[in-house]
Amino acid sequence: MSELSFRLPGGLEFSEEPLENPPVPRDAATVILLRDTDHGLEVFLQRRVAAMAFAGGMTVFPGGGVDRRDADASVSWAGPPAGEWAAWFGGTEPVGRALVCAAVRETFEESGVLLAGTPDAVVADAAQYSRARQQLVSRELSLATFLAENSLTLRADLLRPWAHWITPPQEARRYDTRFFAAVLPEGQHADGATTEAESSGWQRPRDALADAEAGRSMLMPPTWHTLAELAEFTTAAEALAAERKVHPIVPTLVREGDNIRVILGDGE
């Protein structure tokens, strides 16, 4: 078991006591987008709109909850099968499929980056699917239908399992979130054109941590911890090649004056 400690962001309130009947965590997927630059490894981050019900004002990676249609077995798929993802993250094969599909869908919705193409090539210009992107956001369109209509294959081989975080039981909104890592495909652009974020951009992990420490941004414990891990790598390939032992983490938050101590415990 390890710990984090950082200053309590202004305006952030939380209870240290578990709810009497905590909600069952909802499956969710988060994608850590990476790219190499002359200045070092960078990660794509978004500052969520302050009015958002969950993590409002926080700086996060793209991601969101699983849609029931994400488990559609008709999706054209390349890469590790759903059963392998289920084994890495825990759960059934349909859950493994839904998590990967949610990761691809949410990344496209929130950043415009599309981890799909053919079994041998990745889409180089995702902007051509901008209308479908909005239909995915509004839920007019499912990921399976979008891929089928455009003869696209989901590229699960572009993703790597990174972490598994579960919202602690004192929170009214709880998520069972699996974190994936992926490199920005060549030719694509992460635009962050989403109503859920007030700003988006690329940063070196150490710079993002420095912003949080200086009070210029607010990070949730999983984001803080992940950025600290990424700061140890010099390239995206090095990060993706790192051996990961994914296990569920349910953080315990303890207030200590102006600081939060986060105890990283094992899953439920």
Q: What is the pLDDT of residues 35-64, one digit of tens each?
A: 999 999 999 999 876 555 555 578 999 999
pLDDT confidence band for 9 (50 / 70 / 90): low
Q: Tens of pLDDT along 186-234?
A: 999 999 777 766 778 999 999 999 998 888 888 888 999 999 999 999 9
Q: Tens of pLDDT along 125-144?
A: 999 999 999 999 999 999 99
Q: CATH says 2-266 is which class?
A: alpha beta
For residue 224, give the nearest of 5, 65, 40 by alpha carbon.
Answer: 5
Whole-angstrom Cα distance, residue 238 to residue 164? Answer: 20
> Do residues 96 and 82 make contact, with C-beta atoms less than 8 angstroms apart?
yes
Give the pLDDT score at 261: 75
**Which residues touch 208 (CB under 8 Å, ≥6 apart)?**
43, 45, 59, 217, 219, 227
Q: What is the pTM of this model?
A: 0.89
Domain spans of the chain?
A: 2-266
Res. 181: pLDDT tops 90: yes
How do beta strands 63-65 and 153-155 pair? unpaired
Whole-angstrom Cα distance, residue 227 to residue 29? Answer: 17
> Do residues 76 and 155 make contact, with C-beta atoms less than 8 angstroms apart?
no
